[in-house]
Amino acid sequence: ELGYLLRTARSRRFYPTARLLAVARDISASDPLYAVASEASELLRDKTGETGLVGRIESGVVKVLAFTEGRHPLRYMQNVGDKLSLHVSAMGKAILALGTPDEAARQLRLKPLRKLAEGTITDLAALEAQVAQAREQGWIWVENEGDNGLAALAVAGHVGGEPIALSVAGPTDRLRQQRERCLAALQEVHALALRPRMRDTATT
């Protein structure tokens, strides 16, 4: 009667309406986490020209909290609310690096480790080693793992005690050339938005 749900004539199933979606968007917009995520993704785009993303882990996958598309004609596209496979996500692995090796292994076992692109890592030991390296250096680089021709850099920290990750993503060849600049931008935005900081080291 209030217009938040509708019911089909044959199956009599209930479905949410656009009115309920508008309320949900208003709630999300007032959530400080989403405000921080939105501003961070915009800053990343402004500093790099590449797509900026913010995400968190939910039930063994990475949920995109904020997304600001890059300025290049060829750019990485994603939508807020999309869910990414943890074992190919730079954001997911950066978050795993905040915790213990046991917790990382547990999270990686929650979903099948499917081959999605030529660089996808499906061996659990290799994934754990990749996360360990991210834990040591304070950031992570992935390329051609979720999609061929796609690369991403990510760092992670906490907002209000919740672990989230910042990422810059784009075509592999272009990001390889701009990796140092993108990493510097990530670390700068990280220092502004997230606490505590992951340990910074010289890039290789």
pLDDT digit string (tens) for 26-81? 666 656 788 889 999 999 999 999 999 999 999 899 999 999 999 999 999 988 88
Cβ atoms of residues 103 and 117 within 8 Å:
no
Q: Exposed, middle or buried: residue 37 (CB in 10 Å: 0-12, 13-18, 19+)?
A: buried
From residue 44, how far is each of 10, 116, 167, 199 by CA, in Å?
48, 26, 8, 19
Query: Which H or E run contains 16?
Result: strand 14-16
pLDDT higher than 90, residue 172: yes
Going by pLDDT thresholds of 50, 70 and 90, the confidence category of residue 194 is: confident
Bridge partners of residue 61, in order along the sequence: 58, 85
* Spatial separation of the C-alpha atoms in residues 67 and 55, rounded to whole Å: 9
Cβ atoms of residues 143 and 119 within 8 Å:
yes
The pLDDT value given to residue 43: 96
Peptide linkage before 73 cis (omega within 30 of 0): no
The pLDDT value given to residue 90: 97
- Residue among 53, 66, 50, 39 at smallest CA distance from 193: 39
